[in-house]
Amino acid sequence: MTEIPTRLLDRLAAAGVTIRVALLDEAFFTIAVMRLLPSRDVPFVIPAVVRGRKPRPGVPAVGLRALRRCGAGRSGYTHEDRGTSVRSGLVIAHKSDRHRKTGRRRSKKLMYATWRVTGAPVPIRDLYRTRFGIESRYRQLGQVRPRTSTTNGVVRLLWVAVGLILRNARVRFRTERGPGWTLATAGLIVLAESFASSASTRQPRSGVPEANSPRPPTRNYWIQDVT
């Protein structure tokens, strides 16, 4: 699990990039990763995953299951697994939304393992939510990117550029026209504008021939003087 983070950290260090905070997926909630990042002096926010045996009658809850019953706030936390442990901070925040089908208000408790990340639970929750914008952009890019089986890197990169243009057009029209604009609608609008601009640039002005327009063939006419 530490191979990918180590390789990425090495590349960023070689490029001279400074990491302000690492927002990782819950799959990286492991002792190895939570030891690696502080050793590289990289602050992190990782969703805490509740694992282990559920509480039974007469057996109290321990670990994250016991901390999950607490209210919103910050506390220290020691993550233990098979004789090894790592110390980090634990942030508990709440998320409230409405169910898409029933419309009822529901609340969910979120827990994050943090290191050298200051702030109240709500700002930390909102900070981690910025990570989902990257995943949304990649998903939208995959929806509009043309499919190809060619091995030519130039062609594949060209289709990626086309997908990015369509995705950005969708964001623009969605902001200006409201939430009703979809990726397909934005793509049709961009194609229509491209065809219109192409037709307007090719149409010559009245009385002025185009510079690259073909000229008619010239002919020599002999005039016979009949007198």
Q: How confident is the model at residue 45 (pLDDT cuts 50, 70, 90)?
A: very high
Rounded to 5°, angle at Cα 158 from 157 and 163: 95
Q: Tell me the whole-structure pTM to 2 decimals.
A: 0.64
Q: With beta carbons less than 8 A apart as the criterion, state whether 55 and 61 touch.
A: yes
Rounded to the nearest 10 degrees, how much is the dihedral formed by the CA atoms of 67, 68, 73, 77?
40
Per-residue pLDDT, averaged over 105-112, amounts to 90
Rounded to 5°, angle at Cα 126 from 70 and 26: 70
Amino acid at 209: P
The residues pairing with 129 across neighbouring beta strands, listed in sequence order, are none
CA–CA dist 141, 165 (Å, integer): 9
158-198 residue pLDDT tens? 888 887 777 777 676 665 555 556 666 666 666 666 666 66
- Give the residue extent of every domain in the chain: 3-129, 135-200
Q: With beta carbons less than 8 A apart as the criterion, state whether 140 and 186 touch.
A: no
* CA 49, 53, 56, 62 torsion-angle sign: negative
**pLDDT surpasses 50 at 73:** yes
